[in-house]
Amino acid sequence: MENRDKILQFIRVKGPVLPVEISKIIGTDILISSAHLAELTASGKLKISAIKVGGSPLYYLSGQEAMLQKFIGGMNDKERKAYDLLQQSKVLRDSEQEPVIRVAMREIRDFAVQLNVTHENKTEIFWKWHLLSNEEAELLIKSKLNLPAKKAEQPLPNAVEEKPIEKTAEEEHAKTVQRELPAEQEPAKRERKPKQKETEDSFLREISRFFEKNKINIVNSEVIKKNSEIDFVVEIPSVVGNLQYYCKAKSKKRVSDSDLSNAYVKGQFKKLPVIFLSPGELSAKAQEMISKELRNLTFKKI
């Protein structure tokens, strides 16, 4: 039996696993086992968790999502509070939650499914417990929107599930164009692809140049929204050695007090001071907040 077959068989029996467990099963070091797991994940045969145990994510098969609940012991207090609240309520309206819970929901992605609901020309976010069916979620969301639960003429407003990893708008647009245009127009579409990719990566390149210029090292990064919002953990040199910071980079013309407070709370989760990078200006409320309340946050215009 090949190593990858052994890995899949082991996970099928045991459930979510860490790379160190796989290294023992296939008799190799953790780097090789991690490489096998990464390849199986890239091919869609395995899933990877957002929750971590000892700094490492878990690998599991589709259908084993409920087993991840065994590993919530490593959550911080705010994440556990959000987890318990969602487990009890099943559906939560993002706008009704306090800021720390709203941030925590985005951290517990294994258990909180984001739904973007459009109702009366307004889109807002709801959170669904990961094991709740769409039909059950529909009834609860209708209730929160004060809509009749059973009348056919009052269907659930357009609800779109926000996937942890999703295609970009450019990719979706390209697919639509491919379906609608005749075959002879396809070469022109292919010629535009390099330009789309260049635009897509421009903000990340701008931030990377800023880090390089200021001798800031990237420890890890996560693209929240392509060409718009990126999270980093960085190391900044100082007279006492390298210091770690949580860095929020957001491409906005005007940075609000809500932008700063959300970044500040996320920094607290990580127990790190915060740097907020943006090409935009601070709003009046944001300037007041940063001078009085958020003394552990540094704003830098790039």
- Whether pLDDT at 297 is above 90: no
Residues in the chain: 302
| Residue 103 near residue 112, CB atoms below 8 Å | no
pLDDT band at 158 (very low <50, low <70, confident <90, very high): low
pLDDT band at 299 (very low <50, low <70, confident <90, very high): very high
Mean pLDDT of 266-295: 86
pLDDT for res 160: 58
More confident residue, 265 or 116: 116
- Whether pLDDT at 195 is above 70: no
Top CATH class of 202-301 equals alpha beta
pLDDT tens digits, 38-91: 889 888 999 999 888 887 889 999 999 999 999 998 888 899 999 999 999 999
pLDDT for res 112: 94
Determine the Cα angle at 275 with ends 75 and 169, to 5°: 75
| Residue 46 near residue 53, CB atoms below 8 Å | no
Residues 6+ apart with CB under 8 A from 227: 199, 200, 201, 202, 203, 204, 251
pLDDT for res 165: 41
Q: How many CB atoms lie within 10 A of CB 287?
A: 15
Identify the H or E element spanning 159. Answer: strand 158-162
Q: Picking from 98-102, 122-126, 139-143, 294-298, which range would have the lowest pLDDT averaged per residue?
A: 294-298
pLDDT for res 90: 94
- 144 vs 126: CA distance, rounded Å: 10
**What is the pTM for the complete model shown?**
0.55
Tell which CATH architecture fits domain 3-70: Orthogonal Bundle (1.10)
Tabulate helix, strand, coil % of the chain (nearest 5). Answer: 50, 25, 25
- 176 vs 299: CA distance, rounded Å: 40
- Whether pLDDT at 155 is above 80: no
If phi over 0 gives left and psi between -120 and 50 gives alpha, with beta otherwise, what is residue 76? beta
- Whether pLDDT at 129 is above 90: yes
pLDDT tens digits, 179-192: 433 444 444 444 45
pLDDT for res 153: 40
Mean pLDDT (the chain) is 81
Burial grade of 124 (CB within 10 A; 0-12, 13-18, 19 or more):
middle
Q: Where are the domains positioned within the chain?
A: 3-70, 75-162, 169-195, 202-301
**DSSP of 224-258, one letter per residue?**
EETTTEEEEEEEE--TTS-EEEEEEEE--SEE-HH
pLDDT band at 35 (very low <50, low <70, confident <90, very high): confident
- Whether pLDDT at 175 is above 90: no
- The token duo for 158 is 């357009």
- Whether pLDDT at 157 is above 70: no
